[in-house]
Amino acid sequence: MVFDMNFDGKTVIITGGSKGIGKAMAKKFSEYGANVVVADLDEEKGKKLASEIDGVFIGCDVSEKEQVDELVDKTVEKFGSLDVIVNNAGIGSMSTIEDMSHEEWKNIISVDLDGVMYGCKAAAPHLKKSEGCILNIASIYGLVGDVGATAYNAAKGGVVNLTRSVADDLAQYNVRVNSICPGFVRTPMTEEALGDDEFKSYVESMTPLGRVAEPEEIAEVAVFISSDKASYVTGVNLPVDGGWTSH
Ligand code: NAD
């Protein structure tokens, strides 16, 4: 058997692909030959990236089910099939249970958890045809808790177990479903927090490798786990976290 990381002729949707980890993944999948669909709220940055990687930008708010359905339909219309969906779009929050407003809870859950489920559901019929795969971007905060991350911890914990559940549902069709659980990564999402020296030191002290990750270090693993090289990997929530969850 020959296993490779070639994505020639394959179509990959990356939600939240305009910036940060999504952008790095869009570039990496493109390097490996994929037709990449960058799906995001940020049209300006998404269109610029899509033109650089010979991909396509489709505007989409993942918290709106109809928009996610439309994203998948338009992709299949354009490229004829769908091989991989990376449910990456997400937003952060930093509130304890006491500080958190009801609105914040609803907002985080609708983007970080509902949005992932909408992506899985819309893509499933097409992935059954292509024997493709789903990659969700969860977080170490889906595996462990921390102070001031109530809604985010809950949403990402939901993504972790959703990943297992959807993997079980779709295994009979040879559709693999996994998540990556990154530790802290240098992106627009974390720029402000990591600009605070005390917080940065906390993150480094919690990370056995002693540093935050670059987005490309997540993208390399994303391409591997979505490729034929990982053909027996499903239902896995893989920490890519410099060791954060090892202690
Ligand atoms: P980022 O803020 O740098 O980029 C996120 C992208 O998602 C942006 O382009 C934004 O426009 C888009 N987006 C936000 N809400 C959206 C919506 N409703 N619909 C469509 N697009 C939307 O974030 P990032 O750091 O690259 O994070 C990407 C994913 O990785 C998120 O799910 C995040 O929770 C997760 N993650 C990040 C870190 C980290 O340290 N950066 C760690 C663990 C997990």
| Per-residue pLDDT tens digits for 205-220 | 999 999 999 999 999 9
The pLDDT of residue 2 is above 80? no
| Sequence-separated (6 or more) residues with CB below 8 Å from residue 97 | 150
Residue spans of beta strands (DSSP E) within the chain: 11-15, 35-40, 56-59, 84-87, 133-137, 176-182, 237-240
218 close to ligand 1 (CB < 6 Angstrom): no
pLDDT at 18: 98
- Distances, alpha carbon 68 to alpha carbons 93, 122, 140, 152, 164, in Å: 23, 7, 25, 21, 21
* Confidence at 106, pLDDT banded by 50, 70, 90: very high
| Per-residue pLDDT tens digits for 117-161 | 999 999 999 999 999 999 999 999 999 999 999 999 999 999 999
Secondary structure letter of residue 112 according to DSSP: I
| Per-residue pLDDT tens digits for 37-84 | 999 999 999 999 999 999 999 999 999 999 999 999 999 999 999 999
CA distance 114 to 136: 12
Beta bridge partners of 15: 39
Instruction: Please provide the average confidence, as pLDDT, over all residues in the chain.
Output: 97
Could you tell me the distance, in angstroms and rounded to a whole number, from the CA of residue 18 to the centre of ligand 1?
9
Q: Are 111 and 158 in contact (CB under 8 A)?
A: no
What atom of ligand 1 comes closest to residue 92's alpha carbon?
34
Instruction: Specify the residue for token string 């407003």.
Output: 101
Could you tell me the distance, in angstroms and rounded to a whole number, from the CA of residue 15 to the centre of ligand 1?
9
91 close to ligand 1 (CB < 6 Angstrom): yes
